[in-house]
Structures are given as C-alpha cells and as structure tokens.
Structure 1
C-alpha cells in the first residue's frame, strides 16, 4: 500500500500548482482576472494623477476653452476604459470565481473514492480529506476560493505599487523610505500571526471534524430509534456544546492575534503618516514643493500607504490560503503516487476470460499474517488455504475470529503484513487494486442502499442494462416486490433525495445486495455474514438459495452461525486469527472438536418441525 506522506508544500510550490490548475481547468478566469487587475490599477493611478493635473492646469492659467475640453475628454475616456475593464473582470470573476474551487472539490471526492480501501480507512487519510474539504474547498474565504480572490487583489496591489514607487522615489526618497519601513513592520507582525495560524489550524480542524460528525449523526435516520429510546439527546447536546466552545475559543484567539498584528501595523502607519505630511507641509512653506507637486505627492503617499497595507493583508490571506491547501495537495499527491504504482500493471493471461467468457479462479493464501495499523498484535497468524476454482468453501468461527479480515485480504481491500495471496498463481501484489476487485462479487453484512433508483442500486451506473438488472432481480427473489413498486425498477430508494423514495426491510435489502452481486457476475462470490440480522430459519433458506446461484463459481461463505456449512465442499474453522480445523462437515463432526461443539449448540435453531438431527446426516 502506498503510504501518504505528510509533506509540507512551500508557498511558492502551492502557488505554481494553483496557477497550473487554474490554467488547465478555468483558463477564462485568467483573462477575466487580468482585465480586473488592469482596470482597477488604471483607476487607482488615474485617481492619483488627475487631481494633480487639474491643479497644475488651473494654477498655470491656460487660456482657451479648447484646452480644458481636451483635458475633460481625456479624463472621461480614461475613466471609462478603466471602469469597463474593471467591471468586466469583476463580473466574470464573481460568476466564475468559485468554479475552480468546485472543480477541485469534485476531484477530491473522486480521489477519496478511488484510493485503496486500506487508505480510505486510514484515520490519517480520513482526517486529511475532512480538512481538505472543510478548509481547502469549502464555500468560504479559505483555500482555493481565497487563493483566487486575494491573489487577484495581490497582483493588483503589486502592479499599482510599481507605478507609484517610481513616482514616489523620484520625487521624495525620504517619504519612500518611511513608507517601506512601516510596511516592513506590518508585514513582520502579520507573518508571525500566519505562522501561529499554520501551527494551530490542524487542532481547530480536528474539533470542526468532530462537530460535523455529531451534527451529521444526530439527524441520521438510522440513528433515530437509538437516540430516542436510550435518551442520547443529552449526550449529543453536551458533546456538541463542548466542541462549539472549543471552536469559539480558537476563533477568539485567532481574532485576538489578528487584531494585535494589525495594531502593530496601524501604529507604524501613524508614525509614517505624521512624518510624511510634516515633510510635505515644510516643503510647501519653504516653496520647494509646488501646489501641483504637493497634490500629486499627497495622493501618491496616501495611495501608497493604503496599497502597502492592502498588499500585506492580501499577501497574508494568500499565504493563509496556501496553508489551507496543504491537505488538498497531499491527497492529489497520494492519487498521483497510486497512479504511478499502477501505470505499468498488465492483466496476466491467467486472469483473462476464456473465449466463452468464463474465468475459473483459484485463490491461495500462503502463510498470510495481518496486523491492523497501530495494533499491538496480529489479527491473523500464518493463514494458509486454497479456494479452488468452482469450489464452495465455508469459513466459520466465533465473532472476532478474523473471518471478515480474510475476505478483505482475499479481495485486495487489505494487503498482507506478511505472506502471499495468489489468484491463479499470480501474486496479488503485482495487480492493480481494480484488477483485484474485478474478480469478486461480495455480499456484505452491512447493506449499502444508495439514494438512487432500484436499477441503479443493482447496477451502480448512469444507464444500467435493464434486462440484466431484471434477470438479477428475478434470481434474487425480488420480482414480486419490484413489480409492486410505483415505478418498478425506476422507483427511487430511500428518502434522502426523493420524498417518495421507498425503504426495504432488512431481508429485502439483503436480496437487493445479492442482485447487485449477481449483476456483476464476477468469477468469485463472497458472502461475508450477509444474514447476520436474520433468524436462523430464514438464514438457512437464504443460504440454500445462495448455494444455487454459486453453481460454477468459486464461492466463500462466511458466518459465525453454521447454516452455510452443509452446502459447502469444505469448511475452515477459525479461532483467534488462526485456522484450527479444516475438512468436510462430516469429518469435522466426527472429530468432535470446536466445530462439532458449536454446531451442536446451534443445530436446534436450524431444524424445522423439531427435526434437529437432520443437519447431522
């Protein structure tokens, strides 16, 4: 498994990555941003130059109306051009500015759905995705959104300052030095704030993630009964209050630090303004500065001051946005690392279907052990067995014996800590995860009914093959149920999307999951305790039906109850992560060990009409 490294991306690296995505995904935004930057820069420069030009024209007492008309026309034309550019850029930026954020949010979802199962269940990767979604691509002034909005303002600040710096330095170097010194003080103060934010935002994101979990689960339909029957309202309320208090505490600290950083810049700015204005007034009194020059310098200094403050603030916000993009970048890098791992993988001939479409698959475990991340001991120890092509194999044992872990390893959802798993003699580690997944059609204990149509639940696709869907429905024993629905296969399920969505009972939902597995028609059928919620008699009936569907396929039946075992050619009994017994039902009963003891206890529940002995024949 590729491990996600917690890399740190520099501000420059994040900026280059962002600009690359901007040009790739939304090139129109580049031109609208350029128009907005040029238009607003032009307007600021005009706002500084025009008063000085007008004062100069009036003090020089030019005669003739024509001169003043030319000045007026020039001012109007310049202002109109600048205004049009600025408005066009502003309108397009407002309408399109969130597009890149939305595109990235969709890409993140695609990444997290495409990573290996072991990666998706890794707490570090899960936390990274939560933070990337909440801080990197949320509909707030952070991450992708802030990078664009404040990046455009930052470029506008820089371009305008370049023009004003030349003017200010040429006319009064002293004022230029004072402005730069004040700007440096403000930048240093805000930089310290940004460093503090970078160090503390992970803790805030963790509290925010917990808050979202509580809010999401408090209103989840499936939790409604437990919340009310066990009076969990107080627990939710208390924990949510604690998290909100923690979040408010962080936000108060954040606001205080930001205020202090700005206060330092404000004090430096007051000292700068006092010195600059004193210098200008002294020049006017000494007649070394004309009225038009005073007007120009006064405007330049005022704009320079406001622009340097804006530049520092916008730069801080862009750098803060870069911090918010760290987790976004890590997930994109994880997807890239996974793609590199799989790019040269070729499906071996041994795993390609024959001309008639069949693909017999043999799965072999060779001295496989597995330890969950952060665990102190192995969950499975030295597991070796073979599921032969076309064989029905039962894997049984008490809860927690390691049965479900074996299924996840078999299907490529987990990778062994040690040992090898082979498909038709091919080491599973040489295949891509998708190549592994394609070999299996599982039915899990927990049903996953999506807020889609019945057909799309059987065949999760935009346009399912309806005749194949109906065939799978018929095989799974749901024909009458689907026929009774208002729109048949097109009936929406659950009420999350559609108010008229239907809900299935536990048994019906399990049959729907079976239909999904039958529709996939993979070479290996895996039934991982799909009947755990059913009573023993119903379970027995379901397994009899499953046994019919598994004809010709390699099949693994898993349960802590033994209704499945009589339909299987071979049974493996698992205890404490180890294989302790293996053989046919008759052989294990004759041995009289753990399997026989468990079967004897459960046998009475499987026999109908009091015939408890029938299962041992």
Structure 2
C-alpha cells in the first residue's frame, strides 16, 4: 500500500510538471478527450432518432429537420475536432521543447564531474529512449492524456446507456420477462472486475519487459547515439572513407538491431500470451450484448430504432473497457519512467557551494596558492596528482610543461573548480576557493582548453560567448589573436556563421584558425587570470611562438598560466614548472632548468631543440630536415 501511494504521488507530480511546461496543453487535452468521447454518441443518437421515426410514424416533415440537424452536428463536430487536434499537437511540441530545455539546462549547470560519467549519460539517453520506444515518461502525459480522458468519458457514457438498457423492463406478460432479472447486471459487473484484474496483470508484465529492455540497452544506446552524431557531422566524412569505417558502423547498427529485435520480441511475447484470451472474451461479451439488446426490443422494452444506440453503447463499452484498463495500467506503470526523469533532475551537486563574494579589484591583484593538493578522479583509486604545492603570484607568467598524462590539464581543472581536490586546498588571496561563490570565482578566469569548442553560430557570438556583444571589442580581440587577416575576407564580417550546420553560407575554418578564435574569446572576456592549455597544438611551431609572444604583450600585468608541449614557446615565462607522473619535479627559468642535464626538463628540451634555431633577431625558426 505504501508503494502504491508513493507511485501515485509520483504520477501526480508528473502531471504537475507537465502542467508547468504548458498549462493549456492539459486543459485542451481534457476538453478534446471529452469532446471525442461524446461525438460518437451524438451520431448514434441522431441515427436512432431517424430510425424510430421511420418505424413508428414515417413523415417527411418530421424527418427533414432531424436529418438537417444531423448534418449540421456532424459538420460542426468535424471542424471543431480538427481544430482542437491541430492546436493540441502544436502545444505538445511546445511542451516537449520546454521539457528538453529543462533537461539540457540540467546538463549545462550540473557539476562538471557528472559530465564525464558514463552512467549519467545513460540516464539522460534512457529518458529519450523511453519516449522513442514507448512514449513513456513526461511525454506520455503530453500525448496520452487526451486518450485517457476520452476512454474514461466514453466508458461513463456507455455505462449510462447500458444501465438504461438493463432497467428498461420487458412487460410481465411477455415470455422474455426473465430479462428483467438483476442477475444479468450483477453477472456483467463481476465479469468485468475479473477481466480488469487479469488485463492489469498482463500489462504490468509488458511494461516490466519494456523497462528491462531500456536498462539492458543503455550502454548500446549510448554507443548508437555517439555514432549517429558522428554520421550527422559532415566533418567526420573524411575519416569514415579514408579508414573504411563503414564496417565498424555496420557492426554497431547490427548489434543494436539484434538487441532491439530481441527486446521487442520479448515484449510482444508477454503481450501475446494473454491477447488471445482477452480478444475471445471481448467478442463473446459483444455478441451477448447484441443479443440482449435485440431480445429487449423484441420483448417491447425499447423501440426498434433504439437498438442502434444501445448496441453502439455496448460496442463502445466492450472496446473501450480493455483499452482503458491498458491505459490506466500504462499510466500507473509510467511511475518507473517518471522516477528516472526526476532522479536525473535531482542529481545533487557534490561541490561545496560557497557564498563568499569575490573581491572586485581594479589592480587585478589576485594570488593563487596550491597547498598539498592530491587528486584522483571519482570512482578511481589511482592519484593523478600527488602533493602539489605551487603559488601563482600577481602578474606572474608561469608555464607548466610535462609529458602526456603528467597531470597538467587535470591541474587546470582543479584550479578552475571543475573538480575539487581529493586532499589539500587551493587558496585565492589566502581563502579556500570553495568558500567563494562559484560563478563569481569563475569570472576570474579566461581559459582556452586544448579540447576547446566552437559553435555553429556567427563569429561575433563565438568570440563574445553571447548573443549581445561590443563589436569594437570583438574586432580588437580578433586582431590580438592573429585572426584579423582571415576576418577581413569573411563575407559577412562578425555575422558570418562558422561551419555549415545551420547556415549554408557558413565558412569552414582550419584547426589553426579555430584556435585563434578560441584565444580571441579568452581575450574578449578580459579576466584577471589567463590560462592557455595547449591551445595552439594545431599551429606550426613558428606561428605558435609568434602568438605566445604577442599574447604576452596582450596579457600585460595579468596573471597567466601557459601549458605547452613545445618548450620554445614557454621561454618568455617568469617561471617554468615541470610535471611528471602527477608530481612537480622541477621549477625555475628556462635558462636555469636547461643547465640541469640529468633532469626532466633538459630531457624534454633536448628532444625538441634540434628542430629549432634562433636567428640574429632572436626569433625562433624551424630547421628544415634533410
């Protein structure tokens, strides 16, 4: 009973959620459901009326207005039904968009560590799969409320007519007077109660089979979703063809198809086990109902023409009752999918959410200190960073170097609070960063990650990360990032779309150009702390050195942190910190570190130095290999 109460409350919560997205949708679904239930009986009523006139007292004068009313009612109801249906469908699309936006906002604002968890992706994908494969979850409320209301009112109206048939008495002198016995009504009620219990049990098994299918197929659905995204991205076309990846995709689609086929077969098997019995019962009851109506008419309890409306009511009742049983069972069992929906929305932040405002300083005097910080990713046992101690002083230009997997990017994630340290603390002006308001703390950083993302919006919006921006400031940032020569050739200036996903006149940009735009975005933000995490990997060494040197002038007195595999680009930094296997193994200036021939920095530098020379003006040039 406790479980039933909790499940019912969850369903009611689902309806309130749907109402919050589009209140008119629920209202119009109810109105349209009621209208749809009434209309067949209006048609049956007029047909019965016409037949009774013909049987009792045929008269053209009496038939004409009835036929006219029948035509008018039929025409008006068709127009109204069509209008209501189109409007309701439009409301469904609006409500679904708002629902999707709420789910997407959850993804945007949830803790970053959730984004890197596969089980969170599976939760999100399962919500979509529940809609696509069975119309479950919140979408069920959007789409099926009308059907549920229609079935309920059809059943109630049918019951009214059927009861009136039961209570229409055959004259006592008739040999069919035994039809007046209440046992006919009692037997019918008992039969339908038993039917309801059996049908509910059957549909519960079907829903459980569907739920099991979604649980088992979550991982495969994730893979399928990723591959579909790749196939829809025209930029993936080169690798697919050059590396003959078609067979790989075919294999995944084949596995997905086999899993879906098996799951749907299991669901159909569960449903078919009871379908024959249910359909047999339905048609048996339908035949008995028609016979009962005919006998009542023969016995004189009802007019001959009324057989139409009574048999129609019996037919609607017999057909609607199992549908309503199925629909109410589906509604009740939808609590499982609604539970997953609310579980996703209620994923709790694991970060400590501080409230301390960050001091706004015109002089940009913000000092960061890392004390005894160690870190391992949630759910893992190995430390990625171990006992890191580092201070980034005001206005300092610091470079972090090291081999792949040494922990450099993870360090930046901690510094920007995408993750919190497992051990130790990070301080801003002497205060633990976890005590600061998270959004205010993030405003201190302009970051370009090595896996930065640009969007298929116009150039101005990409640089400003906003739909509204200062055009002069955007152009200035583009100049400082070294993209201005390309910018001057764009057909629509700042309004030129990047890529052709949404705009056929969009421009394709190279990897190096994309990195310059990403740096322009960091410049535009104008934050006091600048972080560049290998943002120029797609550039040639000379272009990278020129950009970093120019960027040093742009940064000015701001605090800056640079990460690069190419050590020549870090020579202008005040200090270089060397990471190796999650630890700081060296620190100092380039000239100091390069002298330590038996240590890590010299090893890294020596591996690259053979490819560069310095000209008479002190500029780095790439050596031509022979």
Evaluate the alpha carbon distance shift between residue 267 and residue 359 of structure 1 in structure 2; reply closer, same or farther with a 3 A threshold.
farther
Asked if structure 2 preserves the Cα contact closer than 8 Å seen for 1:185 and 1:268, the reply is no
The aligned residue for residue 304 of structure 1 is 317
Asked if structure 2 preserves the Cα contact closer than 8 Å seen for 1:369 and 1:419, the reply is yes
| 1:445 is the counterpart of 2:450 | yes
The aligned residue for residue 42 of structure 1 is 38
Evaluate the alpha carbon distance shift between residue 450 and residue 289 of structure 1 in structure 2; reply closer, same or farther with a 3 A threshold.
closer
Deviation, 1:188, is: 2.1
The aligned residue for residue 4 of structure 1 is none
The aligned residue for residue 562 of structure 1 is 567
Residues 41-76 of structure 1: CA distance to partner in whole angstroms, max 9, x if unpaired?
3224445655666666777x4799887778768767
Asked if structure 2 preserves the Cα contact closer than 8 Å seen for 1:35 and 1:85, the reply is no
Of the structure 1 ranges 218-227 and 50-59, higher mean CA displacement relative to structure 2 is found in 50-59
The aligned residue for residue 182 of structure 2 is none
Distance 2:245 2:581 in 1: 34
Distance 2:387 2:70 in 1: 85
The correspondence for 2:360, drawn from 333, 353, 367, is 353
The correspondence for 1:596, drawn from 594, 602, 609, is 602
Evaluate the alpha carbon distance shift between residue 83 and residue 473 of structure 1 in structure 2; reply closer, same or farther with a 3 A threshold.
closer
Does the residue aligned with 1:455 lie in a helix, a strand or coil? helix
Superposed counterparts of 1:235-254, under 5 Å: 235-254=248-267
Superposed counterparts of 1:371-450, under 5 Å: 371-450=376-455
Evaluate the alpha carbon distance shift between residue 10 and residue 500 of structure 1 in structure 2; reply closer, same or farther with a 3 A threshold.
farther
Unpaired runs of 5+ residues, structure 2, are 167-184, 622-626
Distance 1:62 1:612 in 2: 115
Asked if structure 1 preserves the Cα contact closer than 8 Å seen for 2:612 and 2:620, the reply is no
The aligned residue for residue 220 of structure 1 is 233
The aligned residue for residue 5 of structure 1 is none
| 1:110 is the counterpart of 2:105 | yes
Asked if structure 2 preserves the Cα contact closer than 8 Å seen for 1:402 and 1:577, the reply is yes
The aligned residue for residue 186 of structure 1 is 199
Evaluate the alpha carbon distance shift between residue 173 and residue 98 of structure 1 in structure 2; reply closer, same or farther with a 3 A threshold.
farther
Deviation, 1:96, is: 2.5
The aligned residue for residue 179 of structure 2 is none
Distance 1:122 1:17 in 2: 28
Asked if structure 1 preserves the Cα contact closer than 8 Å seen for 2:480 and 2:520, the reply is yes
Distance 2:46 2:194 in 1: 28
Superposed counterparts of 1:263-342, under 5 Å: 263-277=276-290, 297-319=310-332, 323-334=336-347, 337-338=348-349
Deviation, 1:414, is: 1.5
| 1:548 is the counterpart of 2:548 | no
Deviation, 1:83, is: 5.6
Does the residue aligned with 1:501 lie in a helix, a strand or coil? coil
The aligned residue for residue 147 of structure 1 is 141
Residues 392-412 of structure 1: CA distance to partner in whole angstroms, max 9, x if unpaired?
122111110000000011011
The aligned residue for residue 3 of structure 1 is none
Distance 2:463 2:441 in 1: 21
The aligned residue for residue 126 of structure 1 is 121
Residues 153-178 of structure 1: CA distance to partner in whole angstroms, max 9, x if unpaired?
11121123234335545623332332
Distance 1:91 1:121 in 2: 41
TM-score, normalization by structure 2? 0.84
Deviation, 1:572, is: 1.8
Deviation, 1:39, is: 1.6
The aligned residue for residue 246 of structure 2 is 233
Asked if structure 1 preserves the Cα contact closer than 8 Å seen for 2:51 and 2:305, the reply is yes
Asked if structure 2 preserves the Cα contact closer than 8 Å seen for 1:50 and 1:75, the reply is yes
Asked if structure 2 preserves the Cα contact closer than 8 Å seen for 1:544 and 1:567, the reply is yes
Residues 460-503 of structure 1: CA distance to partner in whole angstroms, max 9, x if unpaired?
21122100001111211222221122222222222222333223
The aligned residue for residue 466 of structure 1 is 471
Of the structure 1 ranges 242-251 and 98-107, higher mean CA displacement relative to structure 2 is found in 242-251
TM-score, normalization by structure 1? 0.85
Deviation, 1:78, is: 6.8
Distance 1:158 1:527 in 2: 63
Distance 2:500 2:76 in 1: 54
Residues 167-218 of structure 1: CA distance to partner in whole angstroms, max 9, x if unpaired?
5456233323323333332232122111221222233344333223223324
The aligned residue for residue 512 of structure 2 is 507
The correspondence for 2:155, drawn from 151, 161, 173, is 161
Distance 1:612 1:102 in 2: 58
| 1:370 is the counterpart of 2:370 | no
Distance 2:385 2:611 in 1: 30
Asked if structure 2 preserves the Cα contact closer than 8 Å seen for 1:364 and 1:421, the reply is yes
Q: How many residues align?
A: 598
Residues 52-107 of structure 1: CA distance to partner in whole angstroms, max 9, x if unpaired?
66666777x47998877787687678767766654443232133232211221222
Does the residue aligned with 1:563 lie in a helix, a strand or coil? helix
Does the residue aligned with 2:586 lie in a helix, a strand or coil? strand
Deviation, 1:25, is: 3.1
Asked if structure 1 preserves the Cα contact closer than 8 Å seen for 2:477 and 2:523, the reply is yes
Residues 314-333 of structure 1: CA distance to partner in whole angstroms, max 9, x if unpaired?
33554566554444333332
Asked if structure 2 preserves the Cα contact closer than 8 Å seen for 1:178 and 1:272, the reply is no
Does the residue aligned with 2:446 lie in a helix, a strand or coil? strand
Evaluate the alpha carbon distance shift between residue 140 and residue 439 of structure 1 in structure 2; reply closer, same or farther with a 3 A threshold.
farther
The correspondence for 1:92, drawn from 68, 87, 91, is 87
The aligned residue for residue 583 of structure 1 is 588
Distance 2:570 2:108 in 1: 35
The aligned residue for residue 19 of structure 1 is 15
Distance 1:139 1:605 in 2: 57
Distance 2:274 2:144 in 1: 19
Deviation, 1:518, is: 0.4
Distance 1:613 1:544 in 2: 10
Residues 578-600 of structure 1: CA distance to partner in whole angstroms, max 9, x if unpaired?
12223333443444422233223
Distance 1:484 1:114 in 2: 37
Evaluate the alpha carbon distance shift between residue 233 and residue 325 of structure 1 in structure 2; reply closer, same or farther with a 3 A threshold.
same
